[in-house]
């Protein structure tokens, strides 16, 4: 029997799977986190998602099959229960029935939504965006995603709005993971930064980034590794974060020149991990590029932090998923 | 006595003042055009605006003081009847009571609106944007302005949305007329292009641009001069238009990555003068930068052409300006 008002949420990221169990006020009762598999395929990713949900349920002291429903914020193209071409996830070019697979594994209803949009909605409804009618969510993580709320409502365009990571900040600039050149994400996305750092090391540049990665038992330069390297004043890490901030400043300011929103909320793995001082630096980097520079948008760190995506995913289950 | 349903419209541009007289179906009954004064101040500009309105009224065979009202699309910051800091206009840094000045000169009610927004509304309600619910107007002229319609309604943000000309396409790039660097307008705006061309000539580059300008009795490199130079296969003109198209491709695609609108409408002096073949080239230049490149937005030339701004300005007088 479903527990009325207890929901699960899964944030499927390129680096980690974050889960949360919440009550009907979206108070977090338990959470868990697992690295996103780097090999295998969608089925392996789904298995890890189910496992991380069970782990969070255990922490919350509830059974997964008693949940009123589980919401999933996913990258890629979402149609009903199917996810297609999820970038940054292993072997996920084609269509995979993620919804039915998770329903089978967890024994409760599952709803899918766009990862960035659910995180944006969470901040708008529950987090740093509450005082505003219009905002831009900047999710600075593996990639750089963007979510829009205009006049109190999500703006999705024809389904692909908010791709701020692919604002061109440098014509013929750095290679982006999307295959294009000069995108903001090519300078600021964690994945692109890792590839760039590896190349710099090949060229003989000194850095502790990869040493720290191994020490911490990681296989990727996670947000935590970047934060640690910055604390250690690692020269390459500092240089590359400056480069990322410069691109974020231009790209986010460009989006604000187009939209003139009241507020920018900085989330994502790097955004949340680096926190307030770096949100301030993004605001500073935006300033020279803002057309209406006399009244820049407010810039805040995502108030729901790392859990925003998972908590936001539970909002997908607002009314209809509770069995009568 | 006011003529019910006959309106005047004024498009106040950096290069020209375009006026139109329309009936209540916005059918154009007469029009006129004068160059925008390059010296003097707001009062001189207002005098030319009044003169150009009288000229259009004469062509339409009506008296200006019998008009139900005159709408004005103006650059700068508009508050009630006052226009402040109108860029590209002579001596117009401070506030000037344009509305009352014109009402005095013309003897009929005057309403002011943002130049780009009235032109966008005109295309949305009467022109190339009619079939769409969301669009981006790209006004490629003295500067590069942008107007937004989202979900059937203008999106103004906090009043300064649509400043697509100041999307950064090249970090630390070319000097923009706004004082910043690397803005799309720094490559594609007519004013910036003229300044750049003059510098190239100083450096010894060959071009017929300024010769054509003198032959045609102009004091500026108007859209017509650029079009003529392109027809003559002028090397510098061709090179600079390529450079402009490259910037427009990146900048407009960036805006589309953020907004995912259905349609882009290319207007403005250069946009309308260069027409369909160049709108097609903008679409081509956007393609490599579009994230959702499998379904690019439709790209059209502004259907109302040069008169869009003036006709759009008459929409400011929809109901309330008709005396009872």
State phi, psi for B193 to the nearest 5 degrees.
-65, -40
Task: With beta carbons under 8 A apart, name residues in chain B contacting A164.
Answer: 257-258
Nearest to B288 among A151, A163, A180 (CB): A180
Q: Do B223 and B168 reside in the same domain of the chain? A: yes
Q: Do B146 and B110 reside in the same domain of the chain? A: no
Average pLDDT over residues A68-94: 90
Q: Do A228 and A160 reside in the same domain of the chain? A: yes
Shortest Cα–Cα distance, A126 to chain B (Å): 22
Name the percent of chain A lying above pLDDT 90.
Answer: 88
Q: Do A102 and A25 reside in the same domain of the chain? A: yes
Alpha carbons within 13 angstroms on the beta-carbon side of residue B225 total 24
Tens of pLDDT, residues A241-259? 999 999 999 999 999 999 9
Q: Partners of A140 in the beta sheet?
A: A144
Q: Partners of A82 in the beta sheet?
A: A79
Tens of pLDDT, residues B58-109? 999 999 999 999 999 999 889 889 999 887 788 998 999 999 999 999 999 9
Element at B127 (helix H, strand E): none
Average pLDDT over residues A150-158: 95
Interface probe for A, chosen from B117, B167, B174, B263 (most Cβ of A below 10 Å), is B167
B170, B165, B171: which is closest to B255 by C-alpha? B165
Residue A323 lies in a domain: no
Alpha carbons within 13 angstroms on the beta-carbon side of residue A175 total 7
Residue B299 lies in a domain: yes
Tens of pLDDT, residues B18-31? 999 999 999 999 99
Q: Do A156 and A269 reside in the same domain of the chain? A: yes
Residue B123 lies in a domain: no
Q: Do A253 and A295 reside in the same domain of the chain? A: yes
Residue A75 lies in a domain: yes
Number of domains in chain B: 2
Strand residue runs (E) in chain B: 3-12, 16-22, 28-35, 67-74, 77-79, 82-84, 95-96, 110-114, 135-140, 144-150, 153-154, 263-267, 298-301
Residue B125 lies in a domain: no
Residue B68 lies in a domain: yes
Q: Do B186 and B243 reside in the same domain of the chain? A: yes
Q: Do A136 and A250 reside in the same domain of the chain? A: yes
Q: How far is CA B176 from CA A173, A256, B94, B142, B324, in A?
A: 20, 18, 21, 12, 48
Nearest 10 degrees: Cα torsion B46, B49, B51, B54: -130
Residue A123 lies in a domain: no
A97, A104, A106, A105: which is closest to A74 by C-alpha? A97
Q: Do B151 and B298 reside in the same domain of the chain? A: yes
Shortest Cα–Cα distance, B160 to chain A (Å): 6
Q: How far is CA B63 from CA A223, B28, B47, B69, B190, in A?
A: 70, 15, 17, 12, 35
The residue range of the domain holding B24 is 3-118+308-317
What order do you get walking across the sheet with A95-96 strand by strand?
A: A77-79, A82-84, A95-96
How many angstroms separate the most distant Cα atoms in chain A?
64
Q: Do B39 and B154 reside in the same domain of the chain? A: no
Residue B106, domain CATH: 3.30.420.40
Average pLDDT over residues B228-246: 97
Alpha carbons within 13 angstroms on the beta-carbon side of residue A12 total 33
Q: Do B144 and B265 reside in the same domain of the chain? A: yes
pLDDT at B14: 84
Shortest Cα–Cα distance, B18 to chain A (Å): 26
Q: Do B148 and B64 reside in the same domain of the chain? A: no
């Amino acid at each position: 029997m479903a527990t009325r008002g207890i929901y699960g949420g899964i944030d499927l990221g390129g680096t980690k799977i974050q889960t949360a169990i919440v009550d009907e006020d979206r108070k977090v009762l338990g959470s868990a986190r697992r690295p996103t598999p780097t090999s295998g395929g969608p089925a392996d990713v789904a298995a890890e998602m189910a496992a991380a949900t069970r782990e969070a349920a255990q922490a919350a002291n509830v059974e997964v099959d008693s949940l009123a429903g589980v919401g999933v914020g996913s990258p890629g193209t979402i149609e009903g229960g199917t996810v297609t071409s999820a970038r940054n996830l292993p072997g996920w070019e084609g269509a995979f029935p993620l919804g039915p697979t998770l329903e089978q594994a967890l024994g409760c209803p599952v709803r899918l939504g766009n990862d960035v949009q659910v995180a944006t909605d969470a901040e708008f409804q529950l987090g740093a965006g509450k005082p505003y009618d219009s905002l831009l969510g900047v999710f600075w993580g593996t990639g750089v995603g963007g979510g829009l709320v205009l006049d109190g409502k999500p703006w999705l365009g024809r389904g692909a709005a908010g791709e701020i990571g692919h604002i061109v900040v440098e014509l013929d600039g750095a290679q982006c993971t999307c295959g294009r050149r000069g995108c903001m994400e090519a300078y600021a996305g964690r994945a692109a930064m890792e590839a760039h750092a590896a190349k710099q090391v090949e060229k003989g540049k000194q850095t502790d980034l990869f040493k720290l990665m191994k020490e911490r038992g990681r296989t990727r330069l996670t947000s935590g590794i970047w934060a640690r390297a910055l604390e250690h004043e690692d020269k390459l890490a500092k240089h590359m974060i400056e480069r990322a901030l410069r691109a974020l400043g231009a790209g986010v300011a460009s989006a604000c020149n187009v939209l003139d929103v009241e507020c920018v909320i900085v989330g994502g793995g790097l955004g949340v991990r680096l926190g307030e001082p770096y949100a301030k630096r993004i605001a500073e980097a935006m300033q020279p590029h803002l057309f209406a520079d006399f009244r820049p948008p407010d810039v805040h760190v995502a108030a729901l932090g790392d859990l925003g995506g998972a908590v936001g995913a539970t909002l997908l289950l607002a009314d209809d998923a509770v069995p009568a």
